Amino acid sequence: MKLCSIEGCGQKHSAQGLCVKHYSEHRRQFSKTKCIDCGAPCTRIRCKSCAIGYRKAQRGICLVPGCGQPHQAKGYCKVHWRLFTHPDQPLGRCVDCGQPCWSRSGRCRPCQDAYRRSQHPICSVPGCERLVRARGLCKSHYEAQRTRPEKRWLTRTTRQQVAEKPCQLCGYSRTTSHVHRVVPERGYVEGNVVPLCSNCHREVHAGITPCPEPLQAP
């Protein structure tokens, strides 16, 4: 049974490491004034750093002799609790760091993230090392680009209006033009698209013909 953290009390723990009596006294006298451990001004019984240290001190260690890992559930650490609840699943080892893992890829979570970063492209924004989500950008920069006022994305109707314009290279207009992105990473945004016929579109992608200037927003 967890007891009050006040020396000599011995009463059952109620909240914030204190019994009902000392917790009520602290709320009446010291609430929003200072931490009961270090005395620093705070709005709770313990400041953030003392609360983290208190929770770590309250967490027990694994019941398996010689383990020493922090308790996860029912007195066991994460590894031994998994072995206890899933005895039919053999314990694997990460191929990179050697830590216990049950992943099908053979890597623990940190090593798997590092492996994905090495195998997949990263965001095209300078200084960003997150994985690409769409259009050469990570999730954060992709969402920021979509919601940025100065880069309005073309709707389906607007793209159809651009496709109805004649080719900007040869002037062919008997069929619907292709909507070409001048900078592919920017996507279909105003000031980054140009209508091209199918032949000119292939030549631009092949590098035979230079890409014309994009259409400007009206």
Indicate the average pLDDT of the chain: 78
Q: Which of 28, 58, 88 is the last residue of a domain?
A: 58
| Residue 215 covered by a domain | no
- For residue 147, what pLDDT is reported? 65
Claim to verify: residue 138 and residue 165 sit in the same structural domain: no
State the total domains in the chain: 3
Stretch 33-39: mean pLDDT: 75
Look at residue 135 and tell me whether its pLDDT is greater than 70: yes
| Residue 143 covered by a domain | yes
Q: Which of 10, 42, 58 is the last residue of a domain?
A: 58
Quickly state the pLDDT bin for 167 (edges 50, 70, 90).
very high
Q: Which of 58, 74, 93 is the last residue of a domain?
A: 58
- Cα torsion at 43, 46, 49, 54 (round to 10°)? -160
Stretch 52-79: mean pLDDT: 73
Query: What is the pTM (predicted TM-score) of this model?
Result: 0.32
Residue 133 and residue 139 in contact, taking contact as beta carbons nearer than 8 Å: yes
Name which residue leads in pLDDT, 41 or 90.
41
- For residue 154, what pLDDT is reported? 65
| Residue 115 covered by a domain | no
| Residue 11 covered by a domain | yes
| Residue 81 covered by a domain | no
Look at residue 197 and tell me whether its pLDDT is greater than 90: yes
Q: What is the domain range of residue 16?
A: 1-58
Claim to verify: residue 7 and residue 49 sit in the same structural domain: yes
| Residue 48 covered by a domain | yes
- For residue 199, what pLDDT is reported? 92
Claim to verify: residue 2 and residue 50 sit in the same structural domain: yes
Residue 193 and residue 173 in contact, taking contact as beta carbons nearer than 8 Å: no
